[in-house]
Amino acid sequence: MSNTENLSVIILAAGKGTRMNSSIPKVLHELAGKPLLRQVVDVAKSLNPRKICVVYGHGGEMVPKALDDDDALQFVLQEPQLGTGHAVQMAMPCLDGKGRTLVLYGDVPLIKPDTLHHLLESGAGLSLLTMELENPHGYGRIVRNDDGDIVGIVEEKDATEAQRGIREVNTGVLVCPTAQLKSWLSELKNENAQKEYYLTDIVGIAASEGEMIHSASPGRQWEVMGVNDKIQLAELERVFQMERAVELMRSGTSLADPSRFDLRGSLSCGRDVIIDVNCLFEGSVKLGSKVKIGANSVLKNVEVMDGAEIAPFCHIEDAVIGQNCRIGPYARIRPGTQLGEGVHIGNFVEVKNSRIAEKSKANHLSYVGDATVGKNVNIGAGTITCNYDGANKHRTIIEDDAFIGSDTQLIAPVTVGKGATIGAGSTIVRNTPEGGLTLSRAKQVHIEYWKRPVKKKD
């Protein structure tokens, strides 16, 4: 059955999220660096639906604004919020009455496409995602007749003592033919403990019309766990991260501690990659084979080629690190950096928007910005490219085999010729020729009878 054909998705996201204690709407809080609602939208998209309609309310325009880069979404305001049934009703004009409609929740971020496929395949009519819980407290209970057929859902607050004993609960996720959903919603009443229009009441209505109601269950409980406060948010973040860590380890990556691993984007690893504790990967990160990432490093939109080692405490962003490079500890590699094979960047070195060709080294305390550095260049400790004149940025070019003595300032724009040696402590303001020694340093003098000042007595 091509079960996602003609599918529409409604995502409920109007709730207040009081317990988040925040001025940001609940569904915009982030999990793995992405708003909860975006996580759900991405899952919905994986089903290739014809429409995705997001029902928002609390937080007002902040919700559609946060996702306004996404043309696939339609937004509907639910104001006031009169219950889940009312919320779905608000979305109905978005849909054209065809096919089936799946209801998801903006604060239930970890639902898996597999589980949704399972639900979509469980029947052609109304299907509910349900699960058995040891402690069903707070959930709507699934009511079945003696034949085991679903005949309704009763909310905790409206349940009888006997019904509260039911352990099969409603996760809230359901799928239903759109035309029937429309007609059942029109029959909802708010005569219940919360004076709300319950979406769950369509189940009793459908059953009374003789409809067969199917159900499916999520693979894991956490797939249907909602976020109501920061504690639940942190719990689901850990679940998500452990899932990613396990995937990586299964495919051969070594993680020193999977519980101290964080991914906020995508990470691909070659063979025999080793990642130490407390590393954070953001955006798109590609690690080649035999790459080692030291503890407490942050990599964002980075490609690290085979055999490179990143020592602890490095921060690397929008950069390419060549094969067998040695970086850090305590290095900062900023956007636009490309390092060739075997480059060494040591402690407290900052590199920005620079190309450094193979086997060149900057091992200690340097700033290399807007520079083009050739092969086999040695950049001594404390060397700084003075790339900014207060208004504009200028390039520094250091040609192959140059040796830059420690504590040199290169006042850009400037070129150091091939094989040139720059004496330590120089301020280089003009291009230097190839080879030879260039230095700009005041002659050393010695004053033999000089006396240190002494402190005045009063």
Report the alpha-carbon distance of residue 7 to residue 52 in Å, rounded: 9
**Whose CA is closest to 224, among 148, 144, 119, 143?**
119
Report, in this order, helix, strand and coil percent for the chain, each rounded to 5: 20, 35, 45
CB 342 within 8 A of CB 357: no
Q: Do the beta carbons of residue 99 and residue 179 sit within 8 Å?
A: no
In whole angstroms, give the CA distance from residue 441 to residue 430. 14
Q: Which is nearer to ligand UD1, 155 or 358 (CB)?
A: 155
Catalytic residues: 364
Minimum distance, C-beta of residue 171 to ligand UD1, in the bound complex (Å):
6
Q: Which residue, among 284, 146, 118, 149, has the nearest Cα to 214 in the 3D structure?
A: 149
Least Å distance, CB 13 to ligand UD1, is: 6
* Distance, CA of 298 to CA of 328 (rounded, Å): 12
User: How far apart are the C-alpha atoms of 401 and 381, rounded to whole Å?
Assistant: 17
Distance of closest approach, residue 85 Cβ to ligand UD1, in angstroms: 7
CA distances 174 to 39, 211, 337, Å, are: 18, 15, 49
Tell me the three state secondary structure of residue 258. Answer: helix
Contact residues: ligand UD1, CB under 6 A: 12-15, 55, 78, 81-84, 86-87, 105-107, 139-140, 153, 155, 169-172, 198-200, 226
Residue listed under structure tokens 């029959």 = 187
Contact 204, 116 (CB under 8 A): no
In this complex, which beta carbon is closest to ligand UD1, that of residue 12 or of residue 255? 12
**Residue 10: phi, psi to the nearest 5?**
-110, 130
Least distance to ligand UD1, CB of residue 142, Å: 9
Q: How does DSSP assign 90-124, residue by residue?
A: HHGGGS-S-SEEEEEETT-TT--HHHHHHHHHS-S
Q: Which is nearer to ligand UD1, 86 or 344 (CB)?
A: 86
Distance CA 204, CA 209 (A): 9
What's the CA gap between 248 and 93, in Å, rounded? 43
Running DSSP on this structure, what letter comes out for residue 296? Answer: T
CB of 82 to ligand UD1, least distance (A): 6
Distance CA 284, CA 302 (A): 7
Cβ 130 to ligand UD1 shortest distance, Å: 9
The 10 Å Cβ neighbour count of residue 192 is 16
Least distance in Å: CB of 150 to ligand UD1?
A: 13
Tell me if 32 sits within 8 A of 54, measured CB to CB. no
CB of 17 to ligand UD1, least distance (A): 7
Of 228 and 406, the one with the shorter C-beta distance to ligand UD1 is 228
**Cβ closer to ligand UD1: 163 or 376?**
163
Cβ proximity of 414 and 431 under 8 Å: yes
Lookup: tokens for 309: 């080692």
